[in-house]
Each structure stands twice: as C-alpha cells, then as structure tokens.
Chain A
Amino acid sequence: MAKIELRLSSIDPPTPDPPRTIYRDIYNLPSTTYLGLTGRYFNFDDVTLYFQITGTGPGYTFSTVNLGSLASGTSAYINLDNFASRSRPASELTQTVDLILRAYTDSGYSNLKWTFTRTVTVIWINSADPSYTQDVLNNFDDGTVQGWAVLCETQCDTGLPDLGVTTDYALSPPNSLRMRNRTISGKDFHRGRLYKSFTTPDRNKVYAIFDVRTGGQVLTAVNQRVLIVRRDSTVLIYLGTTCAYVAVDAIPEAKWFRIVVPLPRNTSLEIQIAHCVASYVGGGYSYLYMDDFKIISKN
C-alpha cells in the first residue's frame, strides 16, 4: 500500500476520505473549460519525498505539476489553477477522472517510489436546462445587495468588511456584489464572511451555483490565500492553502471563477463565503466580487 495519499477533504487519516464529486455547470462556460482543484497530500513514509500530481480522464488534458518536497509525516494543501482542460460538453454528463499523485525520492523527479490514484466522479449539470427550476437568482442588477450580509471572521479593520453593489466588474452587467475588507493595523492577514440564509426547495437535486472574483486595491500588496464555502458550519469547498501571511497568491486573482455545490433538500441553511487575504493595512483593500448566485432544483 502506498505511503502517500491525496485527500479532497479536511478529514484526517485514518478516517477514510468520504466520496467527493466534482460538480460543474455547463451554462455560460467558455468552449474550452478549465478546472481548478484544491487537494491535500500526505507523506506517511519515513523519508522526505518529492511530489508530483497529474490526472487522466475522458476528454481531459491534465497538467503535470511538481509540488516540491514534503517532509516525512506531514501534509500540505495545494491549489491547482487551470489543472485540467476539456471541451465543454454539449449536455449533462457524468464521468470519472483519476487524480494521480506520485512521490519521488529525488528533486529531479526520476526515482519514483509511490503512486496513489484517487478516482473522482465529475457531474456536469446544465443550469439552463428547462428541467431545472430556478428557485433563487441574485444578480444584483436591481442595485441592492439582495439580502446578503457580511461579518468579520478575524483581524479586519474597524468597520469592515462592508458590502455594496458595484459596476467595477460584473459577470452579467451591470452590477455585481462586492465585499470590501482590510487588515487591522499591526496584523498581516484578515478574513471576512459573506452570507445569506435560504430554505432549499423540496426536490431531489438542489444546487447552488455562483461566480466569484478576488481582487485588491493594490494587487501586488494583497495576496489571496483562501476561499471557503460553508453550509452553516460544514465546509463544502476550501480553496487555497493556509490563511496566514504568505506573500503569494494561493487562489486565482483578478478573474472570475465558478463554484457549484449540492445542497440538501427542504432545509433551512446559511451559505457562507469566507475570504482570507494576506496584506498589511497599507496594502489597501481586498475585494471579493460575486455575481449570478443561483439555487436550482429538479426531481
């Protein structure tokens, strides 16, 4: 058995990683789609190993990414932007892809020691399909925040984060929602939360789909670290690495990306989107834009 592992959840070994599914929405994606993924990889071996990740799947072209060394008995998070590309399917589709983690004993990635394969189901949905009911649409085009609110999770400057509708960037013109935040003086990172409560429809399949974009007043001084999507206290999506001061972007910056999450039926819940940014107070504001938040469902 391989002494390495790739997980797509924060559940620690030895509890088995629960099954995970990649949900994607065809609607309005470019003709060539680009998948981003955050994973957590483990080194259970007695020696330092050099990790490499790639994948394989029908119609996919995966990048091969060298992750560098990882000490014995440790784990690390990695966000792989544009990890895989694939032409956009014409209709809804369910397929599987294999994520392949390899561990080498040398920094030249020539002496392969372990290989670990994680099979993940990919479900493509088409939110524009007439079989879906659109239960919620928040596109902020009426000029209001449509019930969304913000709070500070940690180390925000006084009175922040704040929330408003803006025309700075919009996936569907003219407006998008913007959470603005800044680190309090003396600290080096902050985390704010965007949230809203919903009651999900009583149908078999319920999804939340939304597009976000991160930014900063001075992009080079604001480093995007983590984006977390929660259903109440349950983490659904964790993108990035650590919520701490590291002057490197760990999640995409200055571009829109789409997240799709399944929701339980007929349940009152709160959707939370937490945004962690590494910056000093002088680095200016961090921005989290959101547009076209939808809840769709079907039987």
Chain B
Amino acid sequence: MGRRRGVARTSFPRRRVFRVIAKWTEFSVPRRFKLLQPIMAGELDWEIEVLLRLEEKVFSMLENEAVPSDQWPYYVAFTKRMWNRQVHFGQETYLLEKTSLLTEFTERGLDPAILDLIQVEAEGMAQEKLRIPVPPAWSYDNMVGRIWMAEPEGESGGSYDWTTGVIWLPEPEGSQGGYYDNRT
C-alpha cells in the first residue's frame, strides 16, 4: 500500500545516510567538474585541431577517389571512429576493434578499398595526436650547491669603476684543476 499524502516517510537509518550523501555530492561534485573546466577546455582545443586536419585530409582523398559527395559524411564518420579507436586502444585490442569497424562499414555498403585508404590516414593522425606532448611550462630547477668550478687562472683581477664605485669581478677563463663551489 502506498504512502498517504501528507504523512511523513518512515525514516530508516540506511535512508538517512543515503540522503546525507546525496546532499553532499549534489553540492561538491559539480564544483569538482567546474574546477576542471579550464583544463579540459584546453585539452579539447588540441584534439579539435587534429580532428579538423583529419577531416580536411579525408575530404581531399574522397575528392581524388571521385566518391559522390553525399557519401562523404559516412566516410568521415568511419574515420573519426577509427581515430578514436587508435587513440584509446593498443596492440591486439586495437586490431580487433579495427577489423570490427571495417566490417561494420563494409556491410553498410561503403567501398572497402576506400575505407582501407582512409584508415591509414586516421591512424597517422591519431599518432600525431598522441605525439603532441603537453607543452612545458616555462620553468627550471636551480642546482644550488652542486657546482664544480675550476681554479680561476690567467684572467685580470677585476677593476674599480670610479664613477659608480662598483668593483668589477671577472668570471674565470682558462684554468687548471678544480674545487667544489658551494655558492648559490
């Protein structure tokens, strides 16, 4: 029998816990996704660039092979799915996925010879996508305390600038021997 309108639902401990979790995740999970948004947008930017170039290549190949333009979207759909497989799978799994995808589109009536040509292109572009390493931030590490320097020799001992009062100390040049230099 259903619950009558206006009567509070019986409160079981298990449901109380569930409701607390539900309230907590409702607030926190979307915020976690929002935190990732700028990073995800940047990553998509790179993928879109590669996919656009792939599209252009496939259109040009289809034009060369004299494929009617009304069939182009199907070939492009195949290309992008193939690209996706190459990005996400490897080795034997990838080969199985590739065979399965070729069979699927051949059975849909697309020319297997052209599919073969296109899949090579998709593979190449997927490799290109995988090849792009995330660019480095402009950073470096200081190697403080790990400097080995030779004994200075054969260089003039510096000079004094009378106008500024600055003592010019030259860097060493031409030298023998060595010692451990702990300057920072």
Taking Cβ atoms with an 8 Å cutoff, the residues of A that contact B are: 8-9, 16-25, 28-30, 33-39, 81-82, 119-121, 166-174, 206, 211, 213, 215-221, 236-239, 252, 254-267, 284, 287
| Interface 1/0 per residue, B157-177 and A, CB below 8 Å | 010000000101111111110
Q: Which of B139, B143, B178 sits near A30, CB closer than 8 Å?
A: B143
Q: B42–A16 contact, CB under 8 A?
A: yes
| Interface 1/0 per residue, B42-73 and A, CB below 8 Å | 11011000000000000000000000000000
Check B29 for interface membership: any CB of A closer than 8 A. Answer: no
Chain B: minimal CB distance from A54 (Å): 16
A19–B43 Cα gap in the complex (Å)? 7
Q: B134–A262 contact, CB under 8 A?
A: yes
Residues of the A chain whose Cβ atoms lie less than 8 Å from the Cβ of B141: 24-25, 29, 33-36, 257-258, 260
Q: B136–A21 contact, CB under 8 A?
A: yes
Known A168-B171, A218-B170; judge A20-B148 contact (CB<8 A): no
Q: A255–B147 contact, CB under 8 A?
A: yes
Give the size range of B's interface with the partner: 35 or more
Known A28-B146, A30-B144, A257-B141; judge A168-B133 contact (CB<8 A): no
A119–B32 Cα gap in the complex (Å)? 13
Q: Which residue of A lies closest to B133 (CB)?
A: A262
Q: B45–A169 contact, CB under 8 A?
A: no
Q: B171–A219 contact, CB under 8 A?
A: yes
Check B41 for interface membership: any CB of A closer than 8 A. Answer: yes
List 3 A-B pairs, minimum CB-CB distance, nearest first. Answer: A262-B133, A256-B143, A34-B142
A9–B137 Cα gap in the complex (Å)? 7
Residues of the B chain whose Cβ atoms lie less than 8 Å from the Cβ of A171: 143, 146-148
Q: A257–B148 contact, CB under 8 A?
A: no
Check B39 for interface membership: any CB of A closer than 8 A. Answer: yes
Docked complex: B1-58 residues within 8 A CB-CB of A: 35, 38-39, 41-43, 45-46
